[in-house]
Structure 1
Amino acid sequence: MTATFDDLDLSVLPPAYRAAFEALQASAARVPELEEITRRQEHLIAELNQALHGKKSEKLSEDERQLAFEELETALAEVEEQKQAEASDDDSPRQKRAKAKRKSRDLPDSLPRIEEVIEPDSLECPCGCGLMHKIGEDRSTRIDIIPAQHRIIETIRPKYACRVCTDGVTQAPAPARLIEGGLPTEAFIAHVLVSKYADHLPLYRQSQILARGGIDIHRSTLADWVGVASFHLKPVVDRLAEHLKRSTKLFMDETTAPVLDPGKGKTKTGYLWALARDDRSWGGDDPPGVVYFYAPGRHGQNAETFLTGFDGILQIDGYPGYNRLTRPSRKGGDPITVAHCWAHARRKLKEVFDRDGSEIAAEGLRRIAELYAVEKDIRGCAPGQRLSARKARSAPLVAAFGEWLQAQRLRVSAKSRLGEKLAYIHNHWNGLQTFLTDGRVEIDSNNVENLVRPIALNRKNALFAGHDEGGRTWGRIASLIETCKINGVEPFAYLKSTLEAIAAGHPQGRLDELLPWNYQPST
């Protein structure tokens, strides 16, 4: 029979041995619990690796993946904390946790810093030698937060009069305001705009947050402020669009923007069309920017209207509505040269490969990967260098892909799923070769696709815009916020400064000064 701790008579042991046995017994009792925590930890780590590297992650949207990462990392941190707490003795002081690796960038110098000096209770030497002297110090840095603070600004304008005569009364003029006689400052309006269109927080939720702080501002009042701001910002957005359309190459994409259909009690599908410039990959001089145009439908005529005055190269996906832009009958300018997207071509083949493991689709993916390998090597190079490399390395690959494509189309039924995907690539073949003729053109339109993601996030949180006019406001404010973001400009500071300038009567002839990339933070 095997002896256990329970079989021992601890009373016959010396006190020191008895204490050691009791500690060992307590530790043994915690072993199963610690093993369970370890198993949970290993399971969470496996799930995190699956979300990061497994095939299932490709079926999740970007937002769904980020949510999965957040929840898994949160659970993993909880388990690690629990494991540490269980491993330490209840009676012993809490052990210091291993210093966490800082995942974010260094904290900015612009943040105020408060030094807290913690002195010992006594500086007397324990040996009675007198006062000890400082030989060094340890410093640790933590980030703190003060929840959003609201304050009331009372503007007082004293009146002065002469005691001798009755003619002289003087008073300082009232400061300029965006909303005359209104409650909000320009900073408050800017905060509402950023919360709604950058942080995807609908107005009714903002109203609820304000109510928790004792401020009763109805959603409809916030909506009035947003409408006023949108009206005054319209000339700035129009000027931004003019700048973009003077470019020789732009991206364009569209995404749904559901709007409420008055009188029917349901939503209809509107669209926000993103027109973007991003020349950073080849060192272009023009700053990046994006403008979102709203339209109640997806008809190609809307794109034609939005692009009036633009005659350059347009990088797009395969939506047929853009075809009218390439015709001699195009209104608003000369026929446009289009550059189609290899990422969309790859996506078509990837869908087939994921479904049935098609060897033909796999071969197409391999060939496209060779093109992207060239692009990786020349990213950041000047247009001339990019064009030379493409002619030497990519052009033969594209020619071989074209021959392979036609051969596979003869083998595969046009009505099959794979046949449809191959036909898609064939129908856009001319546009897929545009990047071989101009070093400024990208191989895909991923730049603009990344710029429609914030619209999708706002759509998910707000559900729909209340009206077609709400869709236009949505696009207008989002244009300025997203242009700020891709130029490294803080949106709240920019909107606050711009609204204050407009309220102060900024001249219409100097709108360029109000464009996001020209914003200079006040020191």
Structure 2
Amino acid sequence: MTEDYVTVEQLSDVLANQRQLEASFEALKAKYDRLVAERESFEALKTKYDQLLFEHEKLRRRLLGPKRERVPASDSQLPLPDVLDVLGALGVLPRGDDDDVEADGSALAAAKQAACDADKKKKPKRKARRRDLSELELPVERIVLEPPERDGPGGGDLVKIGEEVSEHVERRAETLVRVQVVRPKYKRPGAPPVDVEAPPAPLKLGAPLAAAKPPEEPAILIAELPARPIPGGLAGPGLLAHTLVSKYCDHLPWHRLSSILAREGFPVAKSTLSDWVEGSVKLLSHITRAMWSDAKANASYVIVDATGVLVQAKEKCRRRSFYVAVVPGEHVLYRYVKKNDGPSVAQLFEGFSGYIHADAASVYHELYDERPDLTEVGCRVGGEVALPAPHRSGRADFPHPVPHAAGSLA
């Protein structure tokens, strides 16, 4: 059996190596601690440097202003009197010119004030003038209106001396056309020459009135100009109908409809389209009033429903109501009421007699109680037929149920 022994020299070498390693470790640890301290000091200095740089930039901007390539108009040039005062203080200008400098400065200030006053004055408004349709690249359609005398006895002897042309824009199938309404002018044979451009002679104050002369046949004959839907407007009936359908059936906003008309060769402002609708509403209101009058006078059965809407106001939206009254096979009528209560409903159906088919809203109670000529109509409870709301799309064409008196419902 062999035994291993460690000599004294070997043990001494191991201990020496251990001490050397411990010394190296302590040196490295001290170096690491020094580096950590230096890093922390560097970060603190960097933070302080950034803060000082920021404060320096703020002070520089306050003293010198921000960097920019464009100079505002207010800073582009100093007033001349201030410049002259500075130059005089520096001794650049001779002292003998002080009076001239003050005079120049006063004149400059007066001129500047006059210019400001002139700018403040409102510019005169331009007089409204009719739009020239000849600039539009639209097909031209001429409609010649002859005076009735042209077709009468001696009409072939009339002498044409000119014509009056008025234009408006009409819509044809898938295109816009410029319609010219031409009215030829004729002079009767043997009539004295008439200056059509000369104005009538003015009446003199104090002159005796001449005896009334019998009406004479006019020397110049011209057909009457047909009335337009909107007086003085450029849109014909077809274009107005197209505008209403596009807005309220196709739901096109004004800017889209204006762009569509511009692509077709007729630029129209959104405000003009709004004016067209306003003028059309005035015309169509006669039809709707006639429809209400006919319904009240002749209809014996009407279906009624109401829909609440929010109307924009200054502070908050107001709740109002739209009433829909359907006379089957005759009319679909709409009315707007500010307050949905019994008196409003009673006023709405004033003059109507017959059956009123409505829901169980309390606003109808006053109408039924005070009007014996009206009969309340409802749907049979649990019946197989139900009445759809008439204001919904397509529901007004459905067959209405057989009316049943409210008193007979179980």
TMscore range, shorter length: 0.3 to 0.5
- Whose strand proportion is higher, 1 or 2? 2
- Whose helix proportion is higher, 1 or 2? 1
* TM-score, reference length from structure 1: 0.35
* TM-score, reference length from structure 2: 0.44
**Which structure's CA Rg is the greater one?**
2
